[in-house]
Amino acid sequence: MRSGASRLPGGVRIGAGTKAALYCLAALALVVWLFLWAERSIIPTLVAIAESETTRAANEVIVSTINEHLATLLNGKVLLEFETGPTGDLLYVRTNTTALNQVQADALEVLQEAIGALEPFTIRVPMGQAFGSKLFAPVGPKIPVKVIPYGTVRAQVYDSYDVTGINQTRYNILLRATCSVRVIIPLISARTEVVTDIPLTTVLIPGKVPDTYLSFPPVK
């Protein structure tokens, strides 16, 4: 009668129980290797896609919230004061700091409420895209990933200007909303930042047109 033992080179015998244990260890090692490989291959792609979708959602919320409350934010506020000379020529433009600070504070309040109301959502990533394949990106079953956006927001009113013509300057007052969003998916957490500039007011400041205007191409 043959036993369930095997003989290794050198005459060492391995029993059936030992063989089963070795098979289990090999299977466990394979599972661990597959898990580590999948983690290195799939997780970065899933995080990048989740960050992109969260950024898009946060940006949409910021823009829609400010546009919805813009009339209320600016109601009764004079952001710019204009000083003219005896002939009616514009001498300078002065910003109303008090009004701008109030706009900034009110905008921060509505933005914090809007960002705090962001609800979890699910994105479905095709298997090919999850593995980072460009050729087979839309191929394979879709992996559902639940994203829980959570973040804080900062608001800052600032000004900028640019030259638009001969002695003409466009002066802008903008609201910059900076949203720091933490993307939380199962077992993973990442942070991304969304910066959105929204114009509040723009004024064109004309200057005197000179009799002669010379324009030279840039030196290369």
Whether 3 is covered by a domain: the verdict is: no
Largest CA distance in the chain: 121
Global model pTM greater than 0.75: no
Whether 218 is covered by a domain: the verdict is: no
- The per-residue pLDDT for range 108-124, each reduced to its tens digit, is 999 999 888 888 888 88
Residue 107 scores a pLDDT above 70? yes
Whether 9 is covered by a domain: the verdict is: no
Helix (H) or strand (E) holding 47: helix 16-74
Percent of the chain topping pLDDT 70: 80
Cα 31 off chain centre by = 35
Whether 117 is covered by a domain: the verdict is: yes
- The per-residue pLDDT for range 174-209, each reduced to its tens digit, is 999 998 888 777 667 778 888 999 888 888 877 665
Round to whole Å and give the CA distance between 198 and 63: 7
Q: How many domains does the chain have?
A: 1
User: Which residues, at least 6 apart from 9, have a Cβ–Cβ distance to it below 8 Å?
Assistant: none
Whether 219 is covered by a domain: the verdict is: no
Domain around 156? 24-206
- What is the pLDDT confidence band of residue 16, given thresholds at 50, 70 and 90? low
Whether 5 is covered by a domain: the verdict is: no
Whether 144 is covered by a domain: the verdict is: yes
CA distances from 201 to 85, 129, 180 (A): 23, 43, 26
In DSSP terms, 146 is beta-bridged to: 122
Whether 217 is covered by a domain: the verdict is: no
